[in-house]
């Protein structure tokens, strides 16, 4: 009714309540808004704990996120990066990317730490090396269209963008589900798979 999108309203709430340059407080404020104001927005409290644990265990120097949306996951990833690491995040919707860019910078991350790339993942991935300098990703976080998970994993493989021992984190593979991706990951012989179960809303 206001003519502004949910993503824009989320950013306006952050501007009013979050501490600029404090990624942890940015995420806390996001969570408050998700729960209190817009229950249909995605909240990553449960899956976020998994992400934080993997970042701590793996300490990846090059991270690729597929599906920036409004930047919640990006800030979550960026705050857990080891010194000198770089995060590349891809968002296909320019409207979401415009909000995410402001959220990422509000959280205090520069373009040297977090690079937001706007465009369809299938078009961006083949050019990550020559256009953006991503040589090999140590960690990939997939949280975009589930039907694209398998296609994009194969693109990353074919363009040799996965480092040896890389970790692939894929959200919501059971619900709403990415069955072809899951079957490939379990049967192709390239990956050791583990399913982390969370509550249905996550």
Nearest to 121 by CA among 160, 162, 90, 89: 90
Catalytic residue among 52, 93, 102, 172: 172
List domains and CATH numbers for the chain.
6-188 (3.40.50.150)
Mean pLDDT value across the chain: 90
What would the pLDDT profile of 64-101 be if each residue is shown by its tens digit?
999 999 999 999 999 999 999 999 999 999 999 999 99
Look up 172 and say whether it is catalytic.
yes
Catalytic residue among 111, 171, 190, 194: 171
What would the pLDDT profile of 3-50 be if each residue is shown by its tens digit?
788 889 999 999 999 999 999 999 999 988 877 655 545 545 567 888
Q: How high is the pLDDT of residue 202?
A: 38
In angstroms, the CA 49 to CA 162 distance is 23
Look up 171 and say whether it is catalytic.
yes
Instruction: Retrieve residue 146's tokens.
Output: 């589930």
- Largest interatomic CA distance in the chain: 51
Catalytic residue among 146, 152, 164, 190: 146
Look up 115 and say whether it is catalytic.
no
Helix (H, G, I), strand (E, B) or coil at 146: helix
For residues 6 and 157, the model is more confident at 157
Catalytic residue among 111, 122, 157, 201: 201
Helix (H, G, I), strand (E, B) or coil at 156: helix
């Amino acid at each position: 009714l206001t003519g502004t999108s949910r993503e824009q309203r989320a950013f306006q709430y952050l501007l009013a309540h979050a501490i600029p340059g404090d990624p942890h407080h940015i995420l806390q404020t996001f969570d408050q808004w998700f729960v209190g104001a817009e229950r249909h927005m995605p909240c990553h409290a449960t899956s976020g704990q998994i992400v934080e644990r993997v970042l701590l265990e793996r300490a990846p120097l090059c991270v690729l996120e597929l599906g920036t949306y409004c930047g919640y996951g990006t800030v979550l990833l960026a705050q857990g990066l080891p010194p000198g690491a770089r995060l590349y995040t891809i968002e296909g919707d320019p409207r979401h990317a415009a909000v995410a860019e402001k959220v990422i910078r509000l959280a205090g991350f520069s373009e040297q730490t977090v690079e937001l790339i706007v465009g369809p993942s299938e078009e961006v991935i083949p050019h990550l090396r020559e256009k953006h300098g991503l040589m090999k990703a140590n960690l990939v976080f997939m949280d975009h269209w589930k039907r694209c998970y398998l296609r994009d994993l194969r693109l990353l493989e074919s363009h040799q963008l996965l480092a040896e021992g890389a970790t692939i984190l894929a959200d919501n593979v059971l619900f709403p589900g990415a069955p072809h991706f899951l079957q490939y990951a379990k049967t192709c012989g390239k990956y050791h798979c583990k399913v982390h179960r969370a509550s249905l809303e996550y």
